Amino acid sequence: MSSDGSNDGEHRTSYTTAGAGYTRDARYITTRITRDGEDGYPVEPGRYRLVAARACPWANRTLIVRRLLGLEDALSVGLPGPTHDDRSWTFDLDPDGVDPVLGIHFLRDAYLRRDPGYPLGITVPAIVEVSSGAVVTNDFAQITLDFSTEWTDYHREGAPDLLPAAHRDEMDQVMRRIYTEVNNGVYRCGFAGSQESYDEAYDRLWTALDWLEERLTSQRYLVGDTITEADVRLFTTLARFDPVYHGHFKCNRQKLTELPALWAYARDLFQTPGFGDTIDFEQIKQHYYVVHHDVNPTGIVPKGPNLAGWLTPHHREQLGGRPFGDGTPPGPVRDGERVTAGHSPLA
* Residue 9 predicted with pLDDT over 70: no
Check which CATH number belongs to the domain holding 94 and give it: 3.40.30.10
- Within this chain, do residues 182 and 303 fall inside the same structural domain, yes or no? yes
pTM: 0.95
Domain count for the chain, please give it: 2
What is the spatial distance between Cα 330 and Cα 272, in angstroms, rounded to a whole number? 9
pLDDT tens for 195-229 read 999 999 999 999 999 999 999 999 999 999 999 99
pLDDT at 12: 39
Which domain covers residue 267, as residue numbers? Answer: 168-319
Is residue 330 one of the residues assigned to a domain?
no
Amino acid at 212: L
Catalytic residue IDs? 56, 187
pLDDT tens for 40-99 read 999 999 999 999 999 999 999 999 999 999 999 999 999 999 998 788 999 999 999 999
Number of Cβ atoms within 10 Å of the Cβ of 208: 17
CA distances from 10 to 58, 113, 171, 343 (A): 8, 22, 24, 21
What is the spatial distance between Cα 4 and Cα 70, in angstroms, rounded to a whole number? 33
Banded model confidence at residue 24, pLDDT cuts 50, 70, 90 = confident
* Percentage above 90 pLDDT, the chain: 91
pLDDT at 18: 41
Does 206 belong to an annotated binding site? no
Is residue 345 one of the residues assigned to a domain?
no
pLDDT at 15: 34
What is the spatial distance between Cα 79 and Cα 3, in angstroms, rounded to a whole number? 15
- Within this chain, do residues 280 and 224 fall inside the same structural domain, yes or no? yes
pLDDT tens for 284-316 read 999 999 999 999 999 999 999 999 999 999 999
